[in-house]
Amino acid sequence: MNIHWLDYLVVFGVTLVAALTVVGIYSFGVRLYAVSQDEDSATMPTNRLALAKAGAFTCFALSAVAVLYGIYLIVPALHN
């Protein structure tokens, strides 16, 4: 029996990078959404708040797409 240890390291690295990317994008979206809902934002321009909210929803959508793609890769029944 021959185990390819390098392949395990590649899978570990890709998994780590993908997980950190998805979590980072989602947390950035949470931060942008919190900024757009801040009560002290009366001094900020309205278009900046709208841009922060749009950025937050974009980050949430990217996170959802990444999770759905991961599910697609894992479930073999979806490949038909």
CA distance linking residue 60 with residue 54, whole number of Å:
10
Per-residue confidence band for 52, with pLDDT thresholds at 50, 70 and 90: very high
Contact 37, 52 (CB under 8 A): no
pTM of the predicted structure, to 2 decimals: 0.82
Distance between start and end Cα atoms, the chain? 33
The 10s digit of each residue's pLDDT in 4-35 is 999 999 999 999 999 999 999 999 999 999 99
Contacting residues for 22 by C-beta, under 8 A, at least 6 apart: 63, 66, 67
Query: Residue for token digits 């395990």?
Result: 8
